[in-house]
Structure 1
Amino acid sequence: MASDRLGTRIASARALGAARLADYAWRCDKRGADGTAKANLAPAPGAETWGVLYEIADADFAALDRLEGGYERIEVSVWRDGEPVKAHTYLSTRLVDDEAPAEWYLGLVLAGALEHGLPAAWIARLERARESGDSPGTGEPIVFDDPGNHCFGCSPHNERGLRLAFTATGRGAVETRYVVEPHLCGRDGVAHGGIQATLMDEAMGHAAHAAADAGEDLDIATIELSVRYRRPTPTGEPLTIRARLVRSEGRDLWMEGEIRDAEGRVCTEATSRWRRLRQSASTRSAPSNAGA
């Protein structure tokens, strides 16, 4: 993403600014020539990836393809200043199983994100990945499709519910895109505050499940929830909802989350504390609200 790095390779490259790619998760699982993991994309409904949109002369694409060895160039639609734009990006099927990206490599990615003013939450995610040395995202969907699950927030079987589904973007982190229907408003055109609180509660509960060990049945409930409404959250427009684990101590998990509008502005922020009720080796249970 860094202008100087691309500019020395492709003379015609001109940065246009930050852009958002929907329904793709950013991962570091492409096998690099040095054996370490490099950036990659994977289709993941509800996920999103932030990057930098460049204008490049048609004659330079062949050279760029050679530089991006091991990747396939594909055409996508990205969002720039609230408008869709056709663009090209790269993904790879030459994957590594458990190699981490090099610290210097994540440093280059982070430098490009800072240079072009990518959203603070995305930069924080890159910083966490650099500090931990982990690959920043799995793209694994989290769906509670048990026929006995009738949760208003996440059940795919509740016809009157929100039917939320989240994608894991790393251990203890999730995100999704969602459009609040106009009839779920407070003031016309603005999502009801209770609906926003539900979106946050669901996101943070799913993030707790994303932090669970493989095979762990994490039966949890909300015991504290705090929501801050920073700006009107629109109905009828795609929202980005994210949550992550802040810390875990004993039976309790502390979470945080946010809702952003189509232009990437933070509309709602929330924090919560969840408590483990029981654990077993059986199927996971959907998160619940202790007050319900």
Structure 2
Amino acid sequence: MSPRNTSPRPPEGAVAPVRHPEAPAPGELLGPHYDECFGCGGGQEHGLHLAARAGEGVTVTAEFTVRKAHQGAPGLAHGGVLATALDETLGSLNWLLRTIAVTGRLETDYLLPVPVDTVLHLDAQVTGVVGRKIYSTATGRIGGPDGPVAVRADALFIEVKVDHFIEHGRPEEIQAAMADPDQLRRVRAFEVNP
């Protein structure tokens, strides 16, 4: 039996991603996929509150401000927080494919320290698709969309059905999410994926 290919880089023969016809329009704010998400939700006091926007093709841009609660070394962003920002931005790409997917692998490169109070500008794009595997890449820049690259990542996401979360999540949170009309609307938008 051969080992599974978990490289975050698309293999030869990967197909180009196709933006779903009902994907949010370029420039549209994507909003949180779940209010309690540490990356994009508003319900986490010390979360990233990352705001992502649809781009052209299968791309997104995002921003988040590194706050004091996000530091690792004195005055600098924690590396795990930066990886979370990249992961959240990469995960936002799935809105454009109209699919539900989870992170299978994330390879992160740290190039520059990111100070507290810095706005990190992120951009991400899907680079290929093979079956349920979605390959993507992202960069995070300091000071603006053309600033120096501080972090970058390549990722492999795996398409799943909503049952994945129902089977593995805690019942209390699943029930609360499913009682939220906005959350239910978001889930239903992904149920029919041609």
Shorter-chain-normalised TM-score: which range? 0.5 to 0.7
Residues 180 and 174 from structure 1, CA distance in 2 versus in 1: closer, same or farther, beyond 3 angstroms? same
Identity of aligned residues (%): 28
Secondary structure in 2 aligned to 1:170?
coil
In the alignment, the residues of structure 1 paired with residue 90 and residue 33 of structure 2 have an alpha-carbon distance, to the nearest angstrom, of 18
Counterpart in the other structure of 1:262: 143
Q: Structure 1: which 4+ aligned runs deviate by more than 3 Å? A: 282-285
CA shift digits 1:96-134 (9 cap, x unpaired): xxxxxxxxxxxxxxxxxxxxxxxxxxxxxxxxxxxxxxx
Q: How far 1:231 moved relative to its partner?
A: 1.2
**Partner SS state of residue 183, structure 1:** helix
User: How far apart are 1:279 and its partner, in Å?
Assistant: 6.8
Match of 2:86 among 200, 204, 212: 200
Name the residue aligned to 1:140. 28
Paired residues of 2:49 and 2:64 also in contact (CA < 8 A): no
Query: In 1, Cα distance between the equivalents of 2:118 and 2:32?
Result: 25
- Structure 1 gaps of 5+ residues are 1-136, 213-217, 286-292
What residue in structure 2 maps to residue 240 of structure 1?
Answer: 121
Supply the distance in 2 between the matched residues of 1:240 and 1:157 (Cα, whole angstroms). 22
* Aligned position for 1:251: 132
Q: Using a 3 Å threshold, how does the CA distance of structure 1 residues 186 and 226 change in structure 2: closer, same or farther?
A: same
Q: Deviation of residue 183 (structure 1)? A: 3.0
Structure 2 contact 46–69 (Cα < 8 Å) conserved: no
Structure 2 CA distance for aligned equivalents of residues 262 and 250 of structure 1:
37
Q: Deviations over 1:29-81 (max 9, x none)?
A: xxxxxxxxxxxxxxxxxxxxxxxxxxxxxxxxxxxxxxxxxxxxxxxxxxxxx
In proportion to residue count, which structure has more strand? 1
Q: Distance in 2 between matches of 1:161 and 1:219?
A: 22
**Pair member with larger Rg:** 1
Distance 1:196 1:162 in 2: 10
* Correspondences of 1:210-225 after superposition (within 5 Å): 210-212=96-98, 218-225=99-106
Superposition CA RMSD, Å = 2.1
Question: RCO (CA 8 Å, sep 6+): is it higher in 1 or 2?
Answer: 2
Which residue among 151, 154, 159 is the counterpart of 2:37? Answer: 151
How far the C-alpha of 1:210 sits from its partner, in A, is 2.1
* Structure 2 unaligned spans of 5+: 1-24, 164-183, 188-194
Q: Partners of 2:161 and 2:127 in 1: how far apart?
A: 21
Count, aligned residues: 141
Structure 2 distance, partners of 1:244, 1:256, is 6
Normalising by the residue count of structure 1, what TM-score does the alignment of the two structures yield?
A: 0.45
Residue 169 (structure 1) aligned with residue 55 (structure 2): yes
